Structure 1
Amino acid sequence: MYKHILIPIDGSSLANSGLEQALALARELGASVTVLTVTSPFEMPAMETVQLEGVRGVYENQTRELAASYLSEAAGKASTAGVACVTEMRESEAPYQAIVDVAMTRNCDLIAMSSHGRGGMAALLLGSQTQKVLAHSTLPVLVYR
């Protein structure tokens, strides 16, 4: 059925739960997975570019380190589950687009993601990035709640 599943994560507890469920599905199907984390670029007001330049480097380093830790933990869970896994980190102002792009370039045939992540109003609304993936993906999308 599905041979390669993309699993986007953001470090939230719901994303971690979705990761575990998606890994269980992959194990049952004999599918491999790509686990993706998308980081947001540092944005700074044009007027304060000089003052904030040092902050940019700190933000980018900390963001990469945190994303790498999420991916490392996910790879460990995949290994424990007996699922072949590769990880990828992307930076994008539009996480949904990065998710759709990686799914296509990695030849995934399913995207499995949580209904929402680190955004607000999580209990009331389907996450905005999840909604956008559903709207823009030509692949099937499995949403974990």
Structure 2
Amino acid sequence: MFKRILLPTDGSEQSERAILAGVAFAKELGAEVLGLTVVPKFHTFTYKAEMVEDTSDQFAIDSAKRAVTYLEFINGAAREAGIACTCEQVVSDDPWKVIVDTAVSRQCDLIAMGSHGRRGIAGVLLGSQTQKVLVHSKVPVLIFR
């Protein structure tokens, strides 16, 4: 049924739980996984604390290190499960769009991702990458809460 499952991650605990569940699901199906993390672009003026004191070069170095850590978690889980895994890092301010576009361009049959479960005003103001993926994806999406 599913042959390639996209596992996007932001390095959070919710993402890691979804990755473990997605890898287990892929193993049951004999599918391969594609790990994906999206690094934000550097902005001089930002609300994100990690950018306030950085130069663009330092931000790129730190972001790349975090991305390697996030993707190594996926690689390790896949290796332990004995399934094929490839990983990608993309720079963009629209993670949901990268997730949707990657699923199509890399011919993924399923997107398996975590939900941060923002509700109320935080959900309205901050939005939800998961919600945007659900709304815009033509590829089936499996959400782990």
TM class by shorter chain equals: 0.7 to 0.9
Q: Which residue is 1:69 aligned to?
A: 69
Counterparts of residues 15-94 of structure 1 (less than 5 Å): 15-45=15-45, 55-94=55-94
The offset of 1:124, in angstroms, is: 3.2
The offset of 1:74, in angstroms, is: 1.4
Q: Distance in 2 between matches of 1:44 and 1:136?
A: 30
Structure 1 gap ranges (5+): 46-51, 117-121
Q: Which residue is 1:13 aligned to?
A: 13
Q: Distance in 2 between matches of 1:66 and 1:113?
A: 18
Structure 2 gap ranges (5+): 46-51
- The 3-state SS of whatever aligns with 1:108 is coil
Q: Distance in 2 between matches of 1:76 and 1:114?
A: 18
Q: Distance in 1 between matches of 2:89 and 2:138?
A: 22
1:124 equivalenced with 2:119 (yes/no): yes
- The 3-state SS of whatever aligns with 2:143 is strand
Q: Distance in 1 between matches of 2:16 and 2:72?
A: 13
**Which consecutive aligned stretches of 4+ in structure 1 deviate over 4 angstroms post-superposition?**
none
Q: Distance in 2 between matches of 1:44 and 1:96?
A: 23
- The 3-state SS of whatever aligns with 2:6 is strand
Q: Distance in 2 between matches of 1:73 and 1:131?
A: 24
Q: Distance in 2 between matches of 1:132 and 1:124?
A: 14
The offset of 1:83, in angstroms, is: 1.3
Pairwise CA RMSD of aligned residues?
Answer: 1.8
Q: Which residue is 1:119 aligned to?
A: none
Contact 2:118 2:128 in 1 (8 A): no
Q: What is the TM-score when the length of structure 1 is the normalising length?
A: 0.86
**Sequence identity (%):** 44
The offset of 1:73, in angstroms, is: 2.2
Q: Which residue is 1:114 aligned to?
A: 114
Letter in 1 for 2:109: D
Corresponding residue pairs, total: 134
- The 3-state SS of whatever aligns with 2:79 is helix
Question: Could you report, residue by residue, the CA deviation over 1:85-113 in whole angstroms, capped at 9, with x for unpaired residues?
Answer: 00000011100000011111110010000
- The 3-state SS of whatever aligns with 2:55 is helix
Q: Distance in 2 between matches of 1:123 and 1:89?
A: 25
